[in-house]
Amino acid sequence: MNATTQRQVEAADGAEPARHDPERLCIAYLVNQYPKISHAFIRREIMALEHCGVQVERFSLRSCPDRFVDEADRSELKKTRVVLQSGPLRLAMACAAAMLTRPVRFARALGLALHIGTGTGRGVFVHVAYLVEACVLLRWFAQRRVVHVHAHFATNPAAVAMLCHVLGGPPYSFTAHGPDDFDRAPFLGLDEKISRARFVMTVSCYGRSQLYRWCDHTQWSKIHVLHPGIDDTFLRHLPVPIPFAPRLVSIGRLDEQKGQILLLEAISRVIGDRVPCELILIGDGPLRAQIQARIVQLRLEEFVVVAGSVPTSELRAHIQASRALVLASLAENLPSVILEAFALQRPVIATMVGGIPELVEPGVNGWLVPAGSVERLEGAIREVLAATTETLERMGREGARRVNEQFRSDDAARRLLARFQPAGED
């Protein structure tokens, strides 16, 4: 295909013209939905890699319905190509082209899709659809001269990257975040995805242990821990004194897994004893209506505010206006929001699930409570409200020190970049 024809094809796909720099390593990032409000950590990772001189091409399997409140997300949207926006005709044409030009590889990829679809809970039809998406990406990756594909999440992005590789596309890796990736491992073909990947990342030692459970021990050496990074958006801010106001903030998707209903129960008990307390809930999700109804039932309207999704600048302001961040999660891997609170020198109340105990040390930078225990959560909240500002600031400084030493975005990007470097025939 000559340069003029290639530009015409890309224009028909609604994409920007190829901007490949032959002197720069070109990596593709593949996510199910990108950008997305809850995926700021992926955006930070991409931007840190670009700061290291890497050319990163963004690909999303489907568009995201989120209403973006952050300018950074809107900027990322302009840089992202969405597979399913190609339309049925171009999807079919890409599949036919792969079938005709590389029949042996296509047969292998189809066999793998049928094998995984039969043996997992997603079904054959879904995995054949993944193969069609892989055919589209095969051409896009070639146009951009992508040398490696990194998928975020062990679900369909990793499956599509794997099938694209079998078709003859670039080698791939993926980051398994959990906890859903671990809970549904047998239904995701996780062992197959690990065995065919160049390497696999996860964000905590807990996450690594869960991946170990679902693959042969001979694959363990390719599984690595890469902590999520925090950038200067949070690290460069001057410390803001702990407020005297009895305010707490909780940040996360509004659903059962995040435990906000239990947090409301704990707040209700504290308020019931006439202990002053305010709570700001930041985030959105399927449980929002029920959470708001529960606030009314518990007569907490004067004390609890559901702020919804907010821009990064407003999120920082809410954290700085609080005495502590509180997470009542029932399942997690390693939440980036804890790092954000630490970077802004705020201690954290969190549950003892997943990788959280790798971050939060009781009495040093926060409180740990058993997941599901309203009583212990209530007790920790009372301690935060009763603590002196000097105590809370000391704990916040310790959290900030750890983030600066172990969780900087630029350090994480350099470690990741070392694994992206081409390593010969895959």
> For 204-217, how does the pLDDT look when each residue is reduced to its tens digit (9 = 90+)?
999 999 999 999 99
The alpha carbon dihedral of 306, 309, 311, 312 has a sign of positive
Q: What is the mean pLDDT of residues 46-75?
A: 91
Does residue 273 come out as left (phi exceeding 0), alpha (psi in the -120 to 50 range) or beta? alpha
- How many Å apart are CA 33 and CA 65, to the nearest integer? 9
Evaluate if residue 366 carries a pLDDT over 60. Answer: yes
State both tokens at 269.
């008990």
Instruction: Identify the weakest region by mean pLDDT among 3-7, 154-158, 345-349, 387-391.
Output: 3-7
Residue 146: band (very low, low, confident or very high) from pLDDT cuts 50, 70, 90: very high
Whole-number pLDDT of residue 422:
63
The predicted pLDDT at position 298 comes to: 98
Return d(Cα 266, Cα 260) in angstroms, integer: 10
CA distance to 41, 193, 233, per residue, from 76 (Å): 13, 27, 16
> Residue 222: is its pLDDT beyond 50?
yes
Distance CA 386, CA 383 (A): 5
Please give the torsion angle defined by the CA atoms of residues 247, 249, 255 and 258, in that order, rounded to the nearest 10 degrees.
-110
25 within 8 A of 55, measured Cβ to Cβ? yes
Task: Specify the range with the lowest mean pLDDT, choosing from 13-22, 36-45, 88-97, 355-364.
Answer: 13-22
Distance from the Cα of residue 56 to its chain's centroid: 17
Residue 6 has pLDDT above 80, yes or no: no
pLDDT on residue 71: 86
pLDDT at 276 over 60: yes
pLDDT of residue 67: 79
Q: Residue 314: is its pLDDT beyond 50?
A: yes
Helix (H, G, I), strand (E, B) or coil at 270: helix
Cβ-contact 270, 248 below 8 angstroms: no
Amino acid at 305: V
Domains and CATH numbers, the chain: 21-229+409-420 (3.40.50.2000), 233-406 (3.40.50.2000)
| pLDDT category of residue 19 using cuts at 50, 70 and 90 | low
pLDDT at 38: 84
Share of the chain above pLDDT 90, in %: 80
Distance between CA atoms of residues 168 and 154, nearest Å: 20
Angle subtended at Cα 139 by Cα 59 and Cα 132, rounded to the nearest 5 degrees: 75
Model pTM score:
0.89
pLDDT the model gives residue 185: 85
Which pLDDT score is estimated for 107? 97
What does the pLDDT read at residue 238? 83
- Which pLDDT value is given to residue 76? 94
Q: Which helix (H) or strand (E) holds 30?
A: strand 26-33
DSSP H helices, 79-189, are 87-101, 103-119, 124-144, 156-166, 180-183, 185-188
Facing residues of 224 across strands?
201
Check residue 121 and give its pLDDT. Answer: 62
